[in-house]
């Protein structure tokens, strides 16, 4: 299986991806905990059915020291006891924001307020930015049918 388009061969696509990667550096350099970022990118990727990003973000999380058990439980985080209250709030915000079309009013106030209990404004800004960014990457990869499974941690560093 090969992708419909190759981001490395088509100038417009390549430039777009380069800008998205630059945006991810801003988030990486923010005060949002790295572990939270890994959980958020994995959960959004699962929801969106993006195999490439699910592969990438789970492998990057393990390479950064995340536990496989926690990663395996991300899809069932509501029932899992291995996440902090802050991580649970971030995962809930991720789900609501990723499934934004499913709720006529967007992200419910109580979901936002719960996240705001655990993260300051700078962290919330990074969290919102990360959720928007991973959804963009997911949609791009799903549209072009980017194959999954071969990613090696840090290969784009």
Domain total of the chain: 1
Within a domain: residue 150?
no
Within a domain: residue 21?
yes
Residues 128-143: b if buried by 16+ CB within 10 A, e if exposed:
bbbbebbbebbebbbe
Whole-number Cα distances in Å, 156 to 33, 38, 75, 152:
21, 16, 26, 9
DSSP letters for 93-137: HHHHHHTGGGSTTSS-HHHHHHHHHHS-HHHHHHHHHHHHHHHHH
pLDDT given for residue 36 in this prediction: 98
Structure tokens, 132: 């928007």
pLDDT digits (tens, 9 = 90+) for 129-141: 999 999 999 999 9
Within a domain: residue 3?
no
pLDDT at 99 over 90: yes
Scan for tokens 């991806």, then name that residue: 17
Domain of 104: which CATH number?
1.20.1290.10
Within a domain: residue 151?
no
pLDDT at 111 over 80: yes
Work out the mean pLDDT of the chain and round it to a whole number: 95
Within a domain: residue 6?
no
Q: Cα(11)–Cα(51) distance, rounded to whole angstroms? A: 24
Closest CA to 140 of 37, 24, 13, 43: 13
pLDDT digits (tens, 9 = 90+) for 42-84: 999 999 999 999 999 999 999 999 999 999 999 999 999 999 9
Within a domain: residue 154?
no
pLDDT given for residue 133 in this prediction: 98
Domain range for residue 42? 11-143
């Amino acid at each position: 299986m090969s992708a419909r388009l190759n981001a490395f061969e088509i100038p417009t696509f390549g430039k777009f991806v380069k800008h998205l990667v630059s945006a991810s550096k801003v988030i990486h350099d923010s005060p949002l905990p790295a572990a939270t970022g890994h959980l958020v990118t994995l959960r959004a990727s699962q929801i969106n059915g993006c195999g490439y990003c699910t592969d990438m973000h789970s492998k990057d999380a393990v390479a950064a020291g995340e536990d496989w058990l926690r990663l395996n439980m991300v899809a069932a985080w509501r029932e899992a006891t291995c996440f902090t209250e802050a991580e649970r709030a971030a995962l809930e915000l991720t789900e609501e924001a990723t499934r934004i079309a499913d709720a006529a009013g967007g992200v419910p106030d109580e979901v936002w307020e719960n996240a705001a209990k655990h993260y300051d404004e700078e962290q919330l800004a990074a969290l919102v930015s990360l959720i928007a960014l991973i959804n963009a990457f997911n949609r791009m990869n799903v549209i072009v049918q980017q194959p999954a499974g071969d990613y090696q941690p840090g290969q784009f560093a």
